[in-house]
Structure 1
């Protein structure tokens, strides 16, 4: 199997004629895509239909007796051949090279002695981008094609053969699917024999998971059961299960970062138990007595290990409600695991948890709605339905009352609470001094960080608010600006007849620095002295490095780390700034130059909202 940089990727898919999905429309995917929606909207149906396109457990397919839409039951008689899933997969450069090496059409040329040799036909330059189209219908296996394959010099059948071998496997992991209870191996063997060895997908999810454990341990169930009938066999089997236990432990630890856990497969006669032992405690507990969240993670880790042959790559993970039984820190750890896995895999997951929505990446969100009892997909973070919007609003720290209030005002998203506090303080002093402050019609809405500002921007635009965002003129702020631009948010707003503004702090305030953050509204000496008081130190102006950045916070932090071994805590510094704020009542109290920069900033904001 070919693995390029990032490997082959699912770029978009569509589901039709499947349960409550008449036509999902084309759903574009990113390396990580979150499907947010209410129960019974059809998220599971969406994933199960997609899974059957190329399942890692062979045999999963569509059954028109169960899967055909009930509100088109008359059409079931013509179900055979009707498409259920269509998808496009983007190939990496390595994939393209492999495909052309395998499937290129070659000419046969006879030489003088009668021997026949294969020579490549005119070798065209390999395309830089290429996609494989895959589809599956009722009653048929998955089919593959490439647009204009013959014009590219490719054999159509060989293209299909290559795709069959190289397309990433779909791994579907649903919740409540691994109890960890003891298993009678002889009974499991009988159940498997009954459905047929080629029909593992017909077994319960619990049985399938145990077979995965045995596969990972390189244990043949027939051999294992047979060994249990003799004393010598049971002795040999002990070595097998120790090796298996060590391997399962190793693979689980690659995905579970919270603490070290050791697994032990214990077999007594035909009975198999799995024990999990926390290294810090040193006492084994049967897996079924561990939390549901932990058991979900175990199932996830082992199924993924199995599907990827232990390499953790070239898979498409379909995860239903991951992390629903994990506490908050576990959910954030899981999102970090997703980030790492997404370098070599595509991850699609459903959620109704605000904590499982990554605010830094609004382009990853797809809203799942139920319209007339049929699934519908929204690309973006806005829905007309209450359930999915409750998830998005909660992730942004909004209540329904606050959301309604914001919708009736001009909203300026700022990078954090500190920004809002400083701007409000300076605005009040300027207005009291007959200078231009922030218009009363503009409401400052703090995002958690600059990286999360695009999520807030996407929400504001989707709600058709009269809104904008103020970003620091630094690397993080420019990255946020770029993401907003790539999501075409401003164009979307303009197309709907309203405007979304992106203001950069440096330009808006007229501060002549390469990098400008909110604390740069004050002189460098002011911020430096606040840091000194906060930490009880004495950093001097001449101590500050000249390192290419003009951000006073970064320059101070460099000295703080190198000389005092401490990280800069802006909240700690803010407490000292607030003490200064308490003594500011008029323009003359402000540090030199602050009033001029702040007034220019407020003029720019008001002008952007046409409030001058």
Structure 2
């Protein structure tokens, strides 16, 4: 089961985030401090939190400025849905469900009083009395003729059953049971040779059982709901835990569960011990050698502890090695060890020399990962394969370049567990990941935190990590490769990169992977980028639209002198349609029309068909209010991740294959 959409309302700084989409793999939340990113993760966790995680508390969690509405009885916590999630079903979720639920979605919500509600969207709906009334009348007409005694006719009995039912009354609960009872009483009066009435009866009887099937489906899907595991940087496993002191804090109820003890308790939960049980073992004295039974019992308890500690060590080491590979050649050398020594539980790391050092002597990033897996496995228990990870500022203590590597670690985690994480760091947002970014801002406290899916925000600071990520990637790419293709803007970069990957995977065309793609932010700036790169004795080509801005850039003497005409590529040279001045979007004209319709609800198909000579961007701009080239390109990126070259039109594939072939030849 995958979370596809979420919405949070009336929780701390949030009034209403609006409904925002969640990716199948990882979703990134960016935004300035105090925007509400952490609050959003906290609310999501309580949709289906692990055991022992506290639920909502109206006094603490309802927006403070409106809390008087609760005390005055204007607002009832049982009526306030704080968080709701929309889930798409996977094959494992469909097992045990009746037919008809294959394409449905499951929606689950949690209220402020911690009660929940759920529903199924798109599955078999509950029939209404209005939908069944014609069949019921026709069945009555048939069976009334076969009534021989003087008791009330079946139609009169039915009238008593449905008295007060409106056409929109759902056939469920008591209504369904009463109607079913009437149908079963009417069965002997149906002519068994009358196939039409037999089928009508079966249809009506089936309608009376839909509510039970739906209830069973809801129970089944509720049992399949993913557990949400939230991990904060302060959930740390300590290298040395004094068991007796921890047991005393647990017993007295003075735990600091968010600062010191939470990670430690998760470690013990993972091991299958309570602090007291391990502390008692540390205090236990060996019995007299003459008492064989007591000695064996004592030894068994020590062995059980040792085996459980060893098993947990192996499990954690395996998971950590699978995602943390600072040096792949010696990834297997570092092994985690969990050891009991009297009243101390120690977490140590054995290096490739066999030297054991405490966990806190390793890097902050390594400590974070160990602590994360301990909390993850302890909270998700046997449900960790069906868990959604919520990471608050992961990798905060890592060097910038190590954060960039750790971005791939999170991607590997997200392959098995859907992951949502917050970050301020440009190194944790890849240049090809902008379509999975959601911007969180709070420009007005009266409005509260908002989540934007189109990288728009009223707060420029919210977009800073994205700007820094693009700037860093551009700076790295400018002089990193000897071959460079300069394009006008970011959307051109996305189209070229996405289509090139689609054609490469299909074997249709293979853009040289040694060509760096560089976007200049406007056609006018292409000459500056090309000149700088050429001055460093690098091979450079430029790709320009065939609109007015592209014409002006292509005719600049400096650009022509720097590159020569053979390395200035124009979209019109590869476009085979009727548009006289095509832009790069026209090379994907039919696909973009389809993507815009299916993903954005923008329907320009009829206009585009009637005006084949108009650039497609011009059509979108005139037909769609608030049209954004960026939003269109982002929708294409999302589409391209799930499709292949065969999903493009034959003409589009041919146009792009010719363009890629020319680029490879010019920059060989």
TM-score normalised according to structure 1 size: 0.63
Note closer, same or farther for the CA distance 1:355–1:269 as it changes in structure 2 (3 Å cut): same
- The Cα of 1:283 is off from its aligned counterpart by 2.3
Name the residue aligned to 2:411. Answer: 339
**Aligned match for 1:74, one of 68, 73, 83:** 68
Alignment length (residue pairs)? 447
Matched ranges for 1:116-265 at <5 A: 125-147=99-121, 150=126, 152-155=210-213, 157-178=215-236, 180-195=238-253, 203-204=257-258, 206-232=260-286, 233=298, 235-236=302-303, 237-258=305-326, 259-260=331-332, 261-265=334-338
Matched ranges for 1:68-467 at <5 A: 68-77=62-71, 78-81=75-78, 82-100=80-98, 125-147=99-121, 150=126, 152-155=210-213, 157-178=215-236, 180-195=238-253, 203-204=257-258, 206-232=260-286, 233=298, 235-236=302-303, 237-258=305-326, 259-260=331-332, 261-279=334-352, 281-309=353-381, 313-373=385-445, 374-397=448-471, 411=489, 413-414=492-493, 417=516, 421=530, 438-439=554-555
Note closer, same or farther for the CA distance 1:306–1:256 as it changes in structure 2 (3 Å cut): farther
Note closer, same or farther for the CA distance 1:80–1:262 as it changes in structure 2 (3 Å cut): same
- In 1, are the aligned partners of 2:50 and 2:228 still within 8 Å (CA)? yes
Specify the SS of the correspondent of 1:57: coil
Name the residue aligned to 2:36. Answer: 42
Note closer, same or farther for the CA distance 1:425–1:165 as it changes in structure 2 (3 Å cut): closer
- In 1, are the aligned partners of 2:14 and 2:36 still within 8 Å (CA)? yes
Q: Supply the distance in 1 between the matched residues of 2:395 and 2:274 (Cα, whole angstroms).
A: 32
Note closer, same or farther for the CA distance 1:499–1:394 as it changes in structure 2 (3 Å cut): closer
Q: Supply the distance in 1 between the matched residues of 2:212 and 2:371 (Cα, whole angstroms).
A: 40
Note closer, same or farther for the CA distance 1:301–1:329 as it changes in structure 2 (3 Å cut): farther
Query: How well do the aligned residues superpose, as a CA RMSD in angstroms?
Result: 4.4
Name the residue aligned to 1:596. Answer: none
- In 1, are the aligned partners of 2:229 and 2:380 still within 8 Å (CA)? no
- Deviation digits for residues 539-568 of structure 1, max 9, x if unmatched? xxxxxxxxxxxxxxxxxxxxxxxxxxxxxx
- The Cα of 1:24 is off from its aligned counterpart by 1.0
- Deviation digits for residues 441-470 of structure 1, max 9, x if unmatched? 999xxxxxxxxxxxxxxxxxxxxxxx9658
Q: Supply the distance in 2 between the matched residues of 1:244 and 1:498 (Cα, whole angstroms).
A: 52
- Deviation digits for residues 54-83 of structure 1, max 9, x if unmatched? 112334211111111122132232352122
Q: Supply the distance in 2 between the matched residues of 1:484 and 1:361 (Cα, whole angstroms).
A: 20
Question: Which moves more between the two structures, 337-346 or 182-191?
Answer: 337-346
Note closer, same or farther for the CA distance 1:479–1:289 as it changes in structure 2 (3 Å cut): farther
Q: Supply the distance in 2 between the matched residues of 1:254 and 1:479 (Cα, whole angstroms).
A: 39
Q: Supply the distance in 1 between the matched residues of 2:95 and 2:654 (Cα, whole angstroms).
A: 50
TM-score normalised according to structure 2 size: 0.58
Question: Is 2:662 aligned against 1:520?
Answer: yes
Specify the SS of the correspondent of 2:67: helix
**Aligned match for 2:50, one of 35, 47, 56:** 56
Name the residue aligned to 1:448. Answer: none
Q: Give the strand-richer structure, 1 or 2.
A: 1
- Deviation digits for residues 337-388 of structure 1, max 9, x if unmatched? 3333334422111111111113223221110011212211111223232222
- In 2, are the aligned partners of 1:427 and 1:437 still within 8 Å (CA)? no
Note closer, same or farther for the CA distance 1:437–1:84 as it changes in structure 2 (3 Å cut): closer
- In 2, are the aligned partners of 1:37 and 1:388 still within 8 Å (CA)? yes
Name the residue aligned to 1:106. Answer: none
- In 1, are the aligned partners of 2:404 and 2:428 still within 8 Å (CA)? yes
Note closer, same or farther for the CA distance 1:364–1:246 as it changes in structure 2 (3 Å cut): same
Q: Where does the alignment leave 5 or more consecutive residues of structure 1 unmatched?
A: 1-7, 101-124, 400-408, 429-434, 444-466, 528-573, 578-612
- The Cα of 1:95 is off from its aligned counterpart by 1.0
- In 2, are the aligned partners of 1:178 and 1:209 still within 8 Å (CA)? yes
Note closer, same or farther for the CA distance 1:226–1:425 as it changes in structure 2 (3 Å cut): closer
Q: Supply the distance in 2 between the matched residues of 1:486 and 1:93 (Cα, whole angstroms).
A: 24
